[in-house]
Structure 1
Amino acid sequence: MLTSRHTLAQLCAAVAAALPVLLVAPAAIAAPQVPPPSTAVGGERLGLPGVQVNPLAGAPALPRDLTGQSWIVSDAASGEVLAAYNPHLRLPPASTLKILFADTVLPKFDRNTVHRVADEEIQNIGAGSSLVGIKENLDYRVEDLWRGVFLSSGNDAVHVLSFMNGGIRRTVNEMQARAETLQAWDTKVISPDGYDMDGQVSSAYDLSLFARSGLRNPDFRTYCATREAMFPGAVDKNTGRRGSFGIANTDRLLGKYPGLIGVKNGTTTNAGSTFVGAAQRNGRTLLVTVMHPASYQRVYDETAELLDWGFAAADKVKPVGRLVDEEPTADAEPTGQAGGGTATPAPPPHDSTAATGPAATSAGDGGLGPVGWSAVAVGTVVAAGAVVLVRRRSSRRRRWGHFEC
């Protein structure tokens, strides 16, 4: 520590000795080495490999020969996890990511809002995507677009709604921010429709969080439970009248498993099959998510088996974890309405404040740059000889950094 008894020469010597260290410090500040987030969100047992279940006397055995790489059984109301197998394993989610898309965007627009589709809104959709059959220069109501998302898993409907929401990039950012609010730290969003993209992952645990949140919205529940609907078609050149055609929900358990509410299935070449199902029985609603079983049909069979087990075991097992609650947020309420009312479009949403990509991990110097940091450091030594202290980044930014691909 420098005192008034030190000479000017001694002071300068101290500054010169400290300067090389101070010049190096900003590099370390800009890219701190931090540990990855815990994979045990919801309870330490959920971060352990293998089957996690805590049966009491009289509890039924879990189904045999389950092939899913990851699965979880939880109570939608209490959030209690009844059993799980590698629930935080990060895997491609396929179209089950549309659950997060709906949870993020659905509250923003009145269902009766009419939107004319521009050609650019249905371009650049991934090859081989599932489509509901939207045509450019035609009008569609928002509720029709959501039926296209939930029933036909239409990537074209997702793209149109994303353009209404301000574009693909904004929608992806808002979905990532929504995942953060739900504490879904296993999820990395690249495409709003779940189409196979390098680095796009989620987990059985996170997908259950998304479904639990979405089911609190009455419109979400209605759409995911709809088995069949009529969808607006093209205009007949001879009559000038617009036709329609039938669409059916691709969820193979809907209408077959007793009490099934929905929620969403997904299958792609790279992701395999994934399914999130919710069912209600005797006042209890259970959620089951199964990811990447041995075959397409197995995702439905294993979901049904785990739902059967969950209803039989609900009062005969101790929870092994829980679905965490949504983090409080200071953001404004959604500007649109999910329900009926006037057909007034919602105002454009605000830009997302969630950082994704390189921007989430490159703001460590506070904007001063190396020269600015050096000047601050030298001034600090001359004035008081204090050690430069650097605040750690917030836990949220550390977590996002872990997800960068």
Structure 2
Amino acid sequence: MAIDALSSKKAGALALIATAAVSLTSIPAVAHPEGQADPQSAPVRAGVQITPDAPKLPQGLSARAWTVADADSGDVLAAKDAHRKLAPASTLKTLFAVTVLPKFSAGAVRQVSAGDLEGVGAGSSLVGIRKGKRYKVADLWQGVFLRSGNDAVHVLASMNGGWDATAREMQQTARKLGARDTTVKSPDGYDAPGQVSSAHDLTIFARAGLADEDFARYCSTARAQFPGPKGTTEIENTNRLLVGSHGLSRYPGIIGVKNGYTTNAGNTLIAAARRGDRTLVVTVLNPQSNALNAVYTEARSLLDWGFSSAKKARPVDSLHIVHAQHAAYAHGAGPGAVNAGATDIGGRGGSWYSAVAPWAYGAGSAALAAGIVLVLRLRGRGRTTPPGGTS
């Protein structure tokens, strides 16, 4: 998948601290049929859903589909063709992470075989995984989230039982999360016949991921050290709203999540940000504008609109019930379960998620009145490696 962003060099930059807090509360059930807005409050014009009393939407929105959702309540504040099935590009890696991340402890080590790297698509974005080298699982996830490395996805999928098995499990996870628009063919998001998702479903995946501290940490990391042929090298996140590059400033309160690009999908982006006590998730798919950075500028304008409109715009839809649980629990697997082929040298058994997930999962737990606030303190370094190819 072709990455929409190239890394820029910023030698000697000060460490960045990204602080993100996601408050997790039970989500009220959808009061209208799945995928439809309340016809009394959400007129649809040219595929756009917005309540009559909501502030006017930003000008210049050209994306084929988009959503603005409150991460805490699950309310969709506005949307355009939210259930339109489109190629997702690397934003599908959010579902991959929700499915696979809880299975392997961050300190587990994988010695990469030739078989692990078989089938990486031509032109894929690569973080630089080398056959025969040993990598910690944490390094592989940094490669997935920061560089959108399809090579890292292939290694993790091999650990998870193989490419096809992982695709099937991702499909099951999507259904368990209530995401009905998604068909998984290639776990890394690489263009494949029949592979689709929607702005609605991708927002669900991001929201489910942000409930896990490791997902939230990885998706909001601007820069990290990655094992290279000679020691370590610094990699920079390709999300331009997160790092502030290519003529864009870092978005205030940005948490991160995932961007992507393929020929079929165009530019895609899921962006989460927090201001005060409110966290919003905006998903933008395939802007038709030829403007530079269109996917980022449209996401920025929708985030701005969402924060200014959150107390004025009534919901037009609701995301399905997603609690502070990692999707693997729906498959009976707990965090820290290490697959054969990986050596456990540091588990996740003591994590916040381990304590929360068993009681947090389950439709109908609307009695959960108190939210759980997750505060992340992240540091990034200021130098980057040369840009990779595609994602």
Aligned to 1:120: 115
8 Å contact kept, 1:72–1:289: yes
Matches within 5 A, 1:5-404: 40-41=34-35, 43=37, 50-56=47-53, 59-234=54-229, 242-255=230-243, 256-294=250-288, 295=290, 297-326=293-322, 331-336=331-336, 343=345
8 Å contact kept, 1:42–1:322: no
- Classify 1:253/1:156 alpha carbon distance in 2 versus 1 (closer, same or farther; 3 Å): same
How far is 1:289 from its partner? 0.3
Whole-angstrom distance in 2 between the partners of 1:335 and 1:258 = 32
Q: What whole-Å deviation, never above 9, does each CA across 1:160-212 have from its counterpart, x for those lacking one?
A: 00001010011001100000001111000000000000100000000000000
AA at the equivalent of 1:245 = T
Larger radius of gyration: 1
Q: Indicate the SS of the match to 2:189.
A: coil
- Classify 1:167/1:210 alpha carbon distance in 2 versus 1 (closer, same or farther; 3 Å): same
Gaps of 5+ in 1: 1-37, 235-241, 347-405
Q: Specify which structure has the higher proportion of strand.
A: 2
8 Å contact kept, 1:47–1:86: no
What RMSD over aligned residues (CA atoms) do the two structures have, in Å?
2.4
8 Å contact kept, 2:106–2:347: no
- Classify 1:281/1:335 alpha carbon distance in 2 versus 1 (closer, same or farther; 3 Å): closer
AA at the equivalent of 2:195 = Q
Q: Indicate the SS of the match to 2:51.
A: strand
Whole-angstrom distance in 2 between the partners of 1:345 and 1:286 = 31
How far is 1:120 from its partner? 1.3
Q: Indicate the SS of the match to 2:240.
A: coil
- Classify 1:330/1:266 alpha carbon distance in 2 versus 1 (closer, same or farther; 3 Å): closer
- Classify 1:229/1:42 alpha carbon distance in 2 versus 1 (closer, same or farther; 3 Å): farther
**Number of paired residues?**
298
Q: Indicate the SS of the match to 2:135.
A: strand
8 Å contact kept, 1:42–1:323: no
- Classify 1:337/1:42 alpha carbon distance in 2 versus 1 (closer, same or farther; 3 Å): farther
8 Å contact kept, 2:219–2:258: yes
Whole-angstrom distance in 2 between the partners of 1:153 and 1:230 = 15
AA at the equivalent of 2:84 = L
AA at the equivalent of 2:272 = A
How far is 1:44 from its partner? 5.3
- Classify 1:123/1:320 alpha carbon distance in 2 versus 1 (closer, same or farther; 3 Å): same
Q: What whole-Å deviation, never above 9, does each CA across 1:353-390 have from its counterpart, x for those lacking one?
A: xxxxxxxxxxxxxxxxxxxxxxxxxxxxxxxxxxxxxx
Q: What whole-Å deviation, never above 9, does each CA across 1:49-102 have from its counterpart, x for those lacking one?
A: 52111143xx43110121001000000010001000110000000000000000
Q: What whole-Å deviation, never above 9, does each CA across 1:92-145 have from its counterpart, x for those lacking one?
A: 000000000001000110000011000111121110000000000010000000
AA at the equivalent of 1:109 = F
Q: What whole-Å deviation, never above 9, does each CA across 1:243-282 have from its counterpart, x for those lacking one?
A: 1211100000004000010110010111101100000001
8 Å contact kept, 1:74–1:287: yes
Q: What whole-Å deviation, never above 9, does each CA across 1:298-338 have from its counterpart, x for those lacking one?
A: 10000000000000000001111111114998742425269
Whole-angstrom distance in 1 between the partners of 2:181 and 2:136 = 34
Higher relative contact order (CA 8 A, sep 6+): 2
AA at the equivalent of 1:292 = N
Q: Specify which structure has the higher proportion of helix.
A: 1
Q: Indicate the SS of the match to 1:254.
A: helix
- Classify 1:51/1:43 alpha carbon distance in 2 versus 1 (closer, same or farther; 3 Å): closer
Structure 1, 113-122 or 151-160: larger mean CA deviation: 113-122
Percent identical among aligned pairs is: 52
Q: Indicate the SS of the match to 1:318.
A: coil
AA at the equivalent of 2:318 = R
Structure 1, 154-163 or 287-296: larger mean CA deviation: 287-296
8 Å contact kept, 2:66–2:82: yes
8 Å contact kept, 2:37–2:49: no
Whole-angstrom distance in 2 between the partners of 1:233 and 1:47 = 53
Q: Indicate the SS of the match to 1:221.
A: helix
Whole-angstrom distance in 2 between the partners of 1:185 and 1:336 = 29
How far is 1:41 from its partner? 2.6
- Classify 1:47/1:123 alpha carbon distance in 2 versus 1 (closer, same or farther; 3 Å): farther
Whole-angstrom distance in 1 between the partners of 2:162 and 2:331 = 20
AA at the equivalent of 1:272 = G
How far is 1:43 from its partner? 3.9
- TM-score scaled by length of structure 1: 0.70
Gaps of 5+ in 2: 1-31, 244-249, 339-343, 349-391
Whole-angstrom distance in 2 between the partners of 1:117 and 1:47 = 53
